[in-house]
Structure 1
């Protein structure tokens, strides 16, 4: 298998595979066979160079990438190969658990997602969802850059010193209010007064600007401190904690044991490393500098997730990289030459003038020129969606399989519009995006059961809306019956639940309408007796008693498979909620409403989220 792979590699890939000792920088863009190169290199190190598998550590940034790498290594070397393939955060979490006492944490800690951070801050402090999300991302980025809360406090002290020039700390708020009033009424003064107060006006403006920033940082630091205290009581660590605590441990207790364990290090997606992760890499290679990093120079222009844009240059300096230690994979196995040239021209604009030569032009492996890139301009999103659908229909007529057609979109709104147009034209769609799964029909129906159960004793508009969705699930209730219920409620000025529970015989529904309402009420009655269950268990009961699972099981389409995946994700989300919050229905409803308000994505066990 390995011999066969080596014959298919390009000359540059073979050079990378054979380079075993010392540092190596591989510059590789998307579609250049970097995973094949990495796994081929690992296989060659073991099979040809005799390096023990357990001495090799491969680090990447996502669980999916790690699984893919493990799979390819197994295909080359067989099952049971003890190469350590891990995400940065998984590696740090394992290091911390193995040394929990020295790290000062409980071995049984759990890991907080960024959206959990935002929700905790939102609920604990009662601030706006926008600020909660902003605080959450700022805390994460600060930790990635090794900026501690103490450094923020130091900065706050300098701001306070600037404010003390104008007023004593005890009257900051009062003086701020006076300055605002003075500025707001300044236009009412005559020109002589305005001229006299010109210098005072500048002082008022300066103080207001300084105090606004001072309050902003004060509020943020308070939120961060509250978050850390609450997190500690929950025995949780966030992703930033994992990197920092692992680094602190290595700084305190040294790296001898780790350097003895791993003698060869490979880092994928190196351009995404942040400051703390780069420091970890230095520790991992303190014994021997047998390190290979794979980076996409085009992506290094951006500072994703606290990554700093010059980390490739820093790597060269740290490890004394010369030109012979840099390999550029310049062959694309994915795109045609015309696409590659267009992409190169566009991406080159991201580089400053003195670095444009670093923007590598890739070439197709088979010298395939391909067709011209077409730029289609439309007047609005609706026309754009229709144009995309028409193009897909033309591909289908040419016999191109659906699985070979993909649509990439920038925003979820665009995605929804395109999906709706395709569905209206009965073109099957599989969405590789979990952000909107809570808005899918099967999930909305399940959540409606939860909302109804939560509102039985104290009806709310949201509960009423949920009742309507249950009645109309699979078009069960006819429109004429819906109108009769609505008119009766409005005419008699009663609640929706009053009408369907106590006056159903007076509404004048059709026979089928009465059956539909009674069946839903019967299901609700059975489920209401199970409200004491944990919310994750209650969901399983709803899946069964509502008939949703039975209905989907009778079908075997791409859409139903996606629906089953959505139901599984909802259940995993409930389990995650129970781990960090509570197990009761009302708490889960509150959690859902906060998520909706924040526009956040819930934690999905089976999602493609990165564990960096």
Structure 2
């Protein structure tokens, strides 16, 4: 049951707009997830839309799971009929439903980041190129960026001026060949292939347009070119698209995100209604005052000012450190003072921007004899034995998967030499 009584004025206004394009500019802690889920539930409860007509896109599987959980509390089991997923999961669904049109077999496999690196290393070896001179990770990053900008291998020559870029071009061409031979796709393909499908088969696009008549996209400021085009194509027929985001929180330009997508939304959809969610439910007044004073210096932004009815809160401390060691040392001294005052250690956290910064903080903790725990630093699926097991399963599923075969052909050791492996690869290539 949808309860609208506890919503503020702007949240309620956003929920009751049920037709046409809607841009919700939601500051941090302004209840955007609540607004999104309540809006979806409201559409269903008011018989404006059926659950299967709604597509809701989030940027992480965790966020998608949380959204479904909230919707189940509001509308019950019919929440399972909604398509709530990431762009990649949604793309995978489209590929599975149309694999033949894309030139794949039903048992295609998805290569993860490490698999892609392994392929690139093999290609470098095939071309007799030193992986120390031409970093596989850097090449992968270039290929990924090119794919997400819709630059095909044949078009990449326009950008290949340096020796490194010329190597990227060669590797990119061969990389795509190897994926296709192995009936495989990489993570980027999960978004690019559906776009290709829609461009080449308008009838298929119309099928999805008619199916998903209400589109919701969270964190719209983080969308890249492919995601932007996908959402625009699917929503074009009915124009019932609601995007939620905040250009002040755009931090993923390094992976292709373009915050201009949210700034240009009203140009893309001329009849857009705009709602500002400025009331913050998470932070104290002092934190918001500091945040507003910093972000107001950004020139290229949608103007809004967060406010709260919460307490004033503690004063913020700004410390300008001499270097990273001084920074870590200062943080640990402050933490020791808190511990001496009786603050439980488990309630204290250090946040850092990149994983590389953890080392100097760990050293400071060890030096000051302060126990600590690094959170989320190693992923289960990145463990070697798990990746080996998954490679075996992928090979069972898809006998053309040479990448997985090469990973496990000597795991455990079987005494199969490089010469024999090369001979097998050549024979397989001749057969194909």
TM-score by length of 2: 0.82
User: What is aligned with 1:114?
Assistant: 113
Q: Which residue of 2 aligns with 1:582?
A: 407
1-side partners of 2:338 and 2:7: how far apart?
33
Q: Secondary structure at the match of 2:373?
A: coil
Change (3 A) 1:326 1:227: same
Structure 2 residue matching 1:26: 3-state secondary structure: strand
Deviation of residue 58 (structure 1)?
0.2
Aligned residue pairs: how many?
394
* Corresponding residue for residue 150 of structure 1: 154
1:251 is matched with 199
Residue 392 of structure 1: CA displacement? 2.7
| Contact 2:218–2:243 (CA under 8 A) maintained in structure 1 | yes
Matched position secondary structure for 1:79: helix
2:387 alignment counterpart = 573
Please list the CA deviations of residues 169-214 of structure 1 after superposition, one character each: whole Å capped at 9, or x if unmatched: xxxxxxxxxxxxxxxxxxxxxxxxxxxxxxxxxxxxxxxxxxxx35
The CA distance in 2 between the partners of 1:413 and 1:147, in whole Å, is 31
In 2, distance between residues paired with 1:35 and 1:83?
Answer: 16
Matched, 1:276 2:226: yes
CA distance in 1, matches of 2:84, 2:52: 10
Greater per-residue helix proportion: 1
| Residue 420 to residue 2, structure 1, CA distance change in 2 (3 Å) | farther
Q: Give the CA RMSD over aligned residues.
A: 2.7
Change (3 A) 1:387 1:215: closer
Shifted more, 82-91 versus 294-303: the winner is 294-303
Task: Give the structure 2 partner of residue 124 of structure 1.
Answer: 123
Match of 2:139 among 131, 135, 138: 135
How big is each residue's C-alpha offset from its partner over 1:280-324, in whole Å with a ceiling of 9 and x where there is no partner?
Answer: 1122113211110011111348624222332123321121145xx
Deviation at 1:379, TM superposition (A): 4.0
**2 CA distance for matches of 1:418 and 1:216?**
35
Q: Pick from 52, 55, 63: which aligns with 1:54?
A: 52
Structure 2 SS opposite 1:146: coil
Structure 1: gaps (5+ residues): 157-212, 438-564, 588-612
- Residues 566, 236 of structure 1: alpha-carbon distance in 2 compared, 3 angstrom cutoff: closer
CA drift at 1:23? 0.6
Can you list the C-alpha shifts for 1:261-285, whole angstroms capped at 9, x where unaligned? Answer: 1111100111121222222112211
Other-structure match for 1:88: 87
Residue among 359, 372, 375 paired with 2:315: 372
Cα distance in 2 for residues equivalent to 1:321 and 1:396:
56
Deviations 1:84-140 (A, max 9, x none): 101101111111111111121122222223343233212320433563212111111
1:566–1:100: structure 2 CA closer, same or farther, 3 Å change rule? Answer: closer
Mapped pair 1:38 → 2:28: no
* Structure showing greater Rg: 1
1:190 is aligned to: none
After superposition, what is the alpha-carbon deviation per residue over 1:351-393, rounded to whole angstroms, capped at 9, x for unaligned? 33xx46x3422112x2422222101244444443343233233
Return the alpha-carbon distance in structure 2 between the equivalents of residues 286 and 331 of structure 1: 32
Query: What is the match of residue 498 of structure 1?
Result: none
Match of 2:216 in 1: 266
Equivalent-residue separation in structure 2 for 1:389 and 1:573 (angstroms): 37
Q: State the distance in 2 between where 1:146 and 1:107 align.
A: 25
Which of the residues 176, 180, 186 maps onto 1:232? 180
- Counterpart position of 1:335: 283
Structure-2 change in CA distance of 1:320 and 1:50 (3 Å):
closer
SS in 2 for 1:2: coil
Structure 2 counterpart of 1:606: none
Cα deviations by residue, 1:527-553 (Å, 9 ceiling, x for unpaired): xxxxxxxxxxxxxxxxxxxxxxxxxxx
Higher relative contact order (CA 8 A, sep 6+): 2
TM-score, structure 1 as length reference: 0.59
Q: Tell me the SS of whatever aligns to 2:49.
A: coil
Q: Secondary structure of the residue that 1:320 maps to in structure 2?
A: coil
Work out whether residues 24 and 244 of structure 2, in 8 Å CA contact, stay in contact via their aligned partners in 1. Answer: yes
